[in-house]
Amino acid sequence: QTPERVRGKYDAELLGTNELFDLLRWKQGILAGVMGKGRGAYRIVLRAPNCVHFIVAAGRTLEDVQPQWKILEEEILPDIRKYNANDSTAELCEYLLVKCDSFARLQALEEAEQQCEEFNQMFGFKDEKFVSMYNVSLWKRTPIELYLSENYICIRHEEPDSQGEHRIVIIPWKQVTNIRKRKCFARDTAISIHYIDNEKRSEDIFMYGFSQRDEVAGIMDQLWQNLMSKVLRSAENNTSLVHETLRRGSSTIKDVGDKMSLESKHAHSAYNRKFRLPTEERHLLDFPCKTWEGSGFKTGQMYISKHFLCFQSTKGKDV
């Protein structure tokens, strides 16, 4: 990670030290959570003048930070020991921060490639773009690993079942209908996701334990919006392609093409009349969903066109 500045004393157990760096295990607790910012309990800290320190590496386990500690002791410190004794501590710290930052960026690229490969292997994808992972819990304190990618929300239960396998849940972003920031035990640490499963059933997932809930919710919302934009563009392009293909079709399929084109026009016309939309608006997609009104949910069908989102309840009332 890029060096992060911290000031003052910190409550941690010293695991290793040298003339410039400390290897620490952050103690658990509320203050440790605030200082840690969810970056992991094990830290390598550069001691700078005036009680200003820099976290140059962090990890959830000691094994996560040991490679960086080894690089510092075997590659960086030997060069530092050659420095002139007259060089100021501030200049030395500035040089070390640049070196640590360059190592961190290189390591981040290598780790990102490895994480993406492991993610695809774990969930059976071929070339899915991995974005981020979070250790949180489902309701009833079930610990999970939450993975976000370009097209999917993936959940892996940390505790194996009776057969020794970890349960996996994969939710395509295109099936998500709502993302909400929630509270858990009066703290802003929870997110709920509403989606439609493959059996067209309405489902909810409540997750808590996010140290930076608003940031994670923002990432989710951006991934969801990006995917839905692609779905809309694809649906619109496919509709145009069908119409163009039918228009250019041979005489042997002319009757079929005319029939499909006529049915499509009727469908668009019925959609526009139902929701009182402009005559040029074209229906693209529809799917079952729920909307919140007043004190409860209403079930129905969501309709999507280029410029409008429309909802019709199961009782037939247009909203």
- Banded pLDDT at 255 (limits 50, 70, 90): very low
Q: In the chain, where does DSSP find H-type helix?
A: 30-36, 62-71, 77-80, 89-123, 213-248, 254-275
**Do residues 275 and 319 both lie within one domain?**
yes
Mean pLDDT, the chain, as a whole number?
Answer: 76
Structure confidence at residue 191 (pLDDT): 94
Residue 73 has pLDDT above 50, yes or no: yes
Q: Measured between alpha carbons, how far is 119 from 108 in angstroms, rounded to an integer?
A: 16
Residue 215 has a CB neighbour count (10 Å cut-off) of: 12
Residue 158 belongs to a domain: yes
Of the three residues 77, 99, 120, the one that is the final residue of a domain is 120
Residue 235 belongs to a domain: no
The β-bridge partners of 169 are 155
Q: How many residues does the chain have?
A: 319
Structure confidence at residue 64 (pLDDT): 80
Q: Measured between alpha carbons, how far is 253 from 202 in angstroms, rounded to an integer?
A: 40
Q: Measured between alpha carbons, how far is 23 from 16 in angstroms, rounded to an integer?
A: 5
**Do residues 10 and 111 both lie within one domain?**
yes
Residue type (1 letter), 7: R
Residue 259 belongs to a domain: no
Nearest to 148 by CA among 164, 165, 160, 136: 136
**Do residues 10 and 116 both lie within one domain?**
yes
Q: Between 120 and 44, name the one with better pLDDT.
A: 120
List the domain range (segments joined by +) for residue 205.
Answer: 128-219
Specify the range with the lowest mean pLDDT, choosing from 4-18, 223-237, 273-287, 298-312.
Answer: 4-18
Q: Mean pLDDT throughout 60-83?
A: 79
Q: How many domains are contained in the chain? A: 3
Of the three residues 70, 87, 120, the one that is the final residue of a domain is 120
Which 3 state secondary structure label does DSSP give 294? coil
Residue 236 belongs to a domain: no
**Do residues 175 and 205 both lie within one domain?**
yes
**Do residues 17 and 96 both lie within one domain?**
yes
Place of tokens 């004393």: 9
**Do residues 101 and 165 both lie within one domain?**
no
Contact 164, 178 (CB under 8 A): no
Q: Measured between alpha carbons, how far is 247 from 319 in angstroms, rounded to an integer?
A: 35
**Do residues 165 and 102 both lie within one domain?**
no
**Do residues 84 and 159 both lie within one domain?**
no
Give per-residue pLDDT as tens, 86-126: 556 666 777 777 767 666 665 666 677 788 888 999 999 98
Structure confidence at residue 275 (pLDDT): 86
Q: Mean pLDDT throughout 276-288?
A: 84
Give per-residue pLDDT as tens, 119-176: 999 999 988 999 888 889 987 778 899 999 999 999 999 888 888 888 999 999 989 9
CATH of the domain at 162: 2.30.29.30
Nearest to 28 by CA among 41, 45, 38, 16: 41
Q: Measured between alpha carbons, how far is 131 from 70 in angstroms, rounded to an integer?
A: 28
Q: Mean pLDDT throughout 7-11?
A: 54
Give 73-77 contacts, CB < 8 A, sequence gap 24+: 73/18, 76/100, 77/18, 77/19, 77/20
Q: Mean pLDDT throughout 244-257?
A: 46
Residue 93 belongs to a domain: yes
Cα angle 174, 192, 219; round to 5: 60
Residue 200 belongs to a domain: yes
**Do residues 115 and 11 both lie within one domain?**
yes
Q: What is the pTM of this model?
A: 0.50
**Do residues 58 and 143 both lie within one domain?**
no
- How remote is the C-alpha of 207 from its chain's centroid? 13
**Do residues 113 and 137 both lie within one domain?**
no
Residue 264 belongs to a domain: no
Of the three residues 88, 120, 152, the one that is the final residue of a domain is 120
Structure confidence at residue 262 (pLDDT): 53
Which 3 state secondary structure label does DSSP give 191? strand
Which 3 state secondary structure label does DSSP give 210? coil
Which tokens is 88 given?
């100021």
Structure confidence at residue 254 (pLDDT): 45
Q: Measured between alpha carbons, how far is 46 from 260 in angstroms, rounded to an integer?
A: 70
Residue 90 belongs to a domain: yes
**Do residues 19 and 68 both lie within one domain?**
yes
